[in-house]
Amino acid sequence: MSDKLGVFICTGYGIGDALDDVDELESIANGEFKAALCETIDNCDGETLAYIKEKVASEELTQVVIAGLGARNFDQKDLPDVKNVQIVNLLEWVVLTHDANDEDTDMLAQDYIRMACARAQGASDITVFPECADLCKTMMVVGGGVAGLTAALEMADTGYDVVVIEKEAELGGFMAKIHKSIPTRPPYRDLQDPGIADKIAAVKANERISVHCGTTVKTIDGGPGLFDVTLESGDTFRIGAIVQATGFIPVEPKGYLGYGENANVITNAQFEAVAANGFKRPSDGKVVKSVAFVQCGDSHNAEQFSYASAIMTTNALKQALYLREADVNSRAFIFYEHLRTPGQKEDFLVRVQEDPGVFLTRGRVNEVGGTNGVTLNVTDNMIGEDLEVEVDLLVLNAGMKPNSADGEILRKLADCDRVIAEGPANAKFEEYTQYAKDFAIHQGTDILGLNYRQGPDLPALKDGYPDSHFICFPYETRRTGVYVAGAVRSPMDGASAADDASGAALKAIQCIEMLARGETVHPRSGDQAFPEFSLMRCTQCKRCTEECPFGAINEDAKGTPEYQVTRCRRCGICLGACPERIINFPDYSIGAVAESIKVVEVPEEWDEKPRVLVLACENDAIPAFEAGAQHGIKHSPFVRVIPVRCLGSVNVVFIKEAISAGFDGVLLFGCKHGDDYQCHMIKGSELMQTRGGNIKDALEQMSLENERVAIHTIEINDYETIPAVIEEFMETIEEIGMNPFKGM
238-252, 459-473, 630-644, 649-663, range with the lowest pLDDT: 459-473
pLDDT (0 to 100) of residue 473: 81
pLDDT (0 to 100) of residue 303: 62
pLDDT (0 to 100) of residue 474: 79
pLDDT (0 to 100) of residue 197: 97
324-338, 358-372, 425-439, range with the lowest pLDDT: 358-372
Place 370 in a pLDDT band, splitting at 50, 70 and 90. confident
The per-residue pLDDT for range 331-342, each reduced to its tens digit, is 999 999 888 898
DSSP string, 425-469: TSTTHHHHHHHHHHTGGGTT--SS-B--TT-SS--B-TTSPBPS-
pLDDT (0 to 100) of residue 4: 96
User: 407-422 and 429-438 are packed helices; what angle lies between their axes, rounded to 10 degrees?
Assistant: 140
Per 3-state DSSP, the chain is made up of helix, strand and coil in percentages (nearest 5) of 35, 20, 45
pLDDT (0 to 100) of residue 302: 62
Percent of the chain with pLDDT over 90: 83
pLDDT (0 to 100) of residue 368: 87
Report the mean per-residue pLDDT for the chain: 93
**Mean pLDDT value across residues 326-349:** 93
pLDDT (0 to 100) of residue 627: 96
Residue 551 pLDDT more than 80? yes
The per-residue pLDDT for range 696-705, each reduced to its tens digit, is 888 888 888 9
**Cα–Cα nearest to 222, from 237, 206, 243:** 237
**Mean pLDDT value across residues 232-243:** 98
Residue 384 pLDDT more than 90? no
pLDDT (0 to 100) of residue 298: 62
pLDDT (0 to 100) of residue 382: 84
Residue 1 pLDDT more than 90? no
Q: Which helix (H) or strand (E) holds 229?
A: strand 227-231
**Mean pLDDT value across residues 625-644:** 96
DSSP string, 252-297: --TTGGGTTTSTTEEEHHHHHHHHHTTSB-TTT-PBP-EEEEEE-S
Q: Which helix (H) or strand (E) holds 615?
A: strand 612-617
pLDDT (0 to 100) of residue 541: 95
**All domains in the chain, ordered by first residue:** 1-123 (3.40.50), 136-247+445-516 (3.50.50.60), 251-400 (3.50.50.60), 522-583 (3.30.70.20), 589-744 (3.40.50)
Residue 68 pLDDT more than 60? yes
pLDDT (0 to 100) of residue 631: 96
pLDDT (0 to 100) of residue 310: 79
pLDDT (0 to 100) of residue 355: 97
Place 472 in a pLDDT band, splitting at 50, 70 and 90. confident
Place 254 in a pLDDT band, splitting at 50, 70 and 90. confident
Residue 344, CA atoms < 13 Å, CB-side half-sphere: 11
Residue 189 pLDDT more than 90? yes
Q: Which helix (H) or strand (E) holds 717?
A: none
Residue 420 pLDDT more than 90? yes
Residue 151 pLDDT more than 90? yes
**Mean pLDDT value across residues 521-549:** 95
pLDDT (0 to 100) of residue 296: 81
Sequence letter at residue 493: D
Residue 649 pLDDT more than 90? yes
Place 371 in a pLDDT band, splitting at 50, 70 and 90. confident
- The C-alpha angle with vertex 313 and arms to 309 and 318, in degrees rounded to 5, equals 135
What's the pTM value of the predicted model, to 2 decimals?
0.93
Contacts of 580 (CB under 8 A, 6+ apart): 537, 538, 539, 541
176-185, 298-307, 374-383, 518-527, range with the lowest pLDDT: 298-307
CA distance 575 to 395: 55
pLDDT (0 to 100) of residue 697: 84
**Cα–Cα nearest to 38, from 58, 21, 23:** 23
Is the Cβ–Cβ distance between 216 and 447 less than 8 Å? yes
Residue 516 pLDDT more than 90? yes
Place 693 in a pLDDT band, splitting at 50, 70 and 90. confident
Place 299 in a pLDDT band, splitting at 50, 70 and 90. low
CA distance 349 to 344: 9
Residue 470 pLDDT more than 80? no
